[in-house]
Structures are given as C-alpha cells and as structure tokens.
Amino acid sequence: MCNTTKNGDRNISKLYIIGNGFDIHHGLKTNYSYYGDFLKKNHPEVYEWFNSLTDLRTRIDFKGTWSEVEKSLEIDFDALMERAFQYYPDMMDDNPKWDDMRITIDEHTRYVDEFTGKYFSEWLNNLDFTNVQPDLRLPQDGLYLNFNYTDTLSRLYEIPDENVLHIHGSLKLLNSTLNDEEIHNTIQFGSSELNESIVEQYKESYNDNEFYGVSIEPCLLGINHYITMASKDLNRNYEPLRKFLQRGDIDSVTILGHSVLKADYPYYRDVIVPALHDCSWHLYYHDDGRESILNFIGKFQLRNFELKEW
C-alpha cells in the first residue's frame, strides 16, 4: 500500500522517478553514443579497449543503450582465465615467466578504471546545458528518485537537493582530488550482476596449485579489481531508498524516461512496487517504449495507471 508517513509539517505526496530519457527529453546528449564519441575523440585507446571486449562478453547483442553498456561489462572470466593459463609458468624454461598470466589479465582489463571512473565523469562534467530549457510542470515539494548523475532537476526546475535521491550518486559530489576508484564509489556505473563470489570460486579451484601464490593469485587480484570497477551494488542502495520513500505520504508515482525492466528493474521488484503498488502510476514512454511499460504493468498487476507518450 502507499506510504502514509508524514514529514514534519509537510505532506509530500508525489514521487517522480527520473531516468536518462528525462535528460534526453530536455536536449542533453546523454546517450551512450555520445560517450563513445567522446572517448573515440579524446581517449581512443579506451574506446578501442571497450570494443575489443566483444569476444569476452557474456552477451553479444550490444546495441549501445546504457543498460547494454553495463551488461557488456560482464565478461566471460572462464574464457579470460583460459587465456591466462596459456602462459602458465614453464619450469623447464630458463625464465618461467611468473608474471605472464597476470599480464594477460591486465591487457584485457586495464582501462576499466578510466571507462567507469575518470573519463566517464569527465564526459558528464562537460555536458552542454546552454540551450536546455524546462518544459514540464514539476512541483518543488515533490520527491524525486533520480537514476541520473546530472543536476538537471536543480538547474532547470530548482528542485531542492533534499528532495532528490541520486540513487547511483551525483556529479555534485565529485572533485578533482578523487582517484578512479573513489570516483566509481561516488557515481556508481556498471553491472549489478558482477560480484566477488566469482573470485572466491576461483580461489577454491586453484588454491592447491603449486604456483597459486606467484602466478594465479595475482590474476585473481586483477579480476577482483575489474569486478570492483565494473559493477554497482544495488543491495547497498536499498536501505537509503526505503528511507527516502518513507519521507512523505506518497499517493502517486510518475516515471519520466526510465527503463523499468532493464538494469534497474530490481529496485522496482524489491522496494518501489511493494511499497507503492496501490498508488496511481503515471508512466511516460518514448518511441518504442510502450511495450516495455505494458509488460511492467502486467508483471506487477498495477491497477491504477495512466500511460503518456512524450
């Protein structure tokens, strides 16, 4: 049922869920293709690295949406380890090449820090807001669950920061002193399916190997670092989200430009819909998004809803 918790003297009654389509609707060039163009022009080695992962991806139907970009970071670690084992130390050789396995891992994962960290934030910080204008009626006392990193809500609509939850982080929290890992922890970008259990499985499999400490363990450290930089932990965001939804007496949910059945679907399944199922739902879609919205409505058996095309 809908939340009925009061927030002091205020009764915030409307929740707006903001996705990348919101920024695109306002003319911001936030499609992945623009990030790809930015990398190709300014950091071609990283652009080429990402495209070179094709034969290691667990999915090959990559078309360039953000959900697919994040999914494409799920590389086939078994195949990667097989490549590393082609350089297994040879004790019959005068130089066993203890480091060659780790070097192989590094060659395939070396630019993940920049892709999800420094260059990603650099691109976002250089988005052009010059001709961007507000064209929606958004209440300043509403609650805004923002899946974007940008500050479009405050720039265009003067929505107070305290009414916005940037579920994956905000560019406002970045500064020039942060390293790649700190940037990634501030703005979460990556797959929600990657986790360190993969490395634990490899440890169990190879722990008794005679060269574990000198050759195999460094490989696993490299894979673990890749997973850290290429993933986001949705579970750690659940509690802040629950608390945010309890701030007001929410009677309606409006979704603006968010892909409800893709990478962020677990938020709806585990937190948002269970808390707000009986609210009125207003779902905006663009182009071919209608089918996805209808599937979402059917999956959760929403009864009180309205569809609107942008």
pLDDT digits (tens, 9 = 90+) for 63-92: 678 888 998 899 999 999 999 999 999 888
- 202-241: b or e for each residue (b if 16 or more CB lie within 10 Å)? beeebeeeeeeeebbbbbbebbbbbbbbbbbebeebeeeb
- Residue 44 placed within a domain: no
| Residues 1, 139 within the same domain | yes
Same domain, residue pair 174 and 238: yes
Assigned domain for 42 exists: no
Q: Is 270 found in the same domain as 159?
A: yes
Do 78 and 106 fall within a single domain?
A: yes
Q: Is residue 46 part of a domain?
A: no
Mean pLDDT across the chain: 91
Q: How many domains does the chain have?
A: 2
Considering the domain architecture, whether residues 279 and 308 belong to the same structural domain is answered as yes
What CATH number did the domain enclosing 164 receive?
Answer: 3.40.50
Residues 107 and 159 both lie in one domain: no
- C-alpha 73/C-alpha 80 separation (Å) is 13
Q: How confident is the model at residue 63, as a pLDDT?
A: 60
Say if 189 falls within a structural domain: no
- Mean local confidence (pLDDT), 264-275: 96
Q: Does some domain include residue 253?
A: yes
pLDDT of residue 7 exceeding 90 = no
Say whether both 173 and 224 belong to one domain. no
Q: pLDDT per residue over 127-164, tens digit each?
A: 999 999 999 999 999 999 999 999 999 999 999 999 99
Q: H helices of the chain, where?
A: 20-25, 32-42, 44-52, 66-72, 77-85, 100-109, 112-113, 119-125, 152-157, 180-186, 197-206, 217-229, 235-245, 265-267, 273-276, 290-300
pLDDT at residue 271 in the model: 98
Q: Are 286 and 25 in contact (CB under 8 A)?
A: yes
Is 207 within a domain? yes
pLDDT band at 4 (very low <50, low <70, confident <90, very high): very low
Highest mean pLDDT: which range of 53-57, 93-97, 255-259: 255-259
**Residues 95, 240 share a domain:** no
Q: Are residues 19 and 103 in the same domain?
A: no
Same domain for 213 and 160, yes or no, is no
Give a yes or no: residue 43 inside a domain.
no
Residue ranges making up the domain that contains 202: 51-126+195-229
Do 304 and 224 belong together in one domain? no
Say what the pLDDT of residue 5 is: 47
| 260: in domain | yes
**pTM for the whole thing?**
0.90
| Mean pLDDT computed over 218-240 | 95
Distances (CA, A) of 299 to 57, 150, 270, 286, 295: 29, 30, 13, 20, 6
pLDDT reading at 284 higher than 80? yes
Q: Given this model, what pLDDT does residue 109 score? A: 95
Pair 242, 267 in one domain? yes
In this structure, the strands spanning 143-146 and 305-309 are unpaired
Structure confidence at residue 60 as a pLDDT band (50, 70, 90)? very low
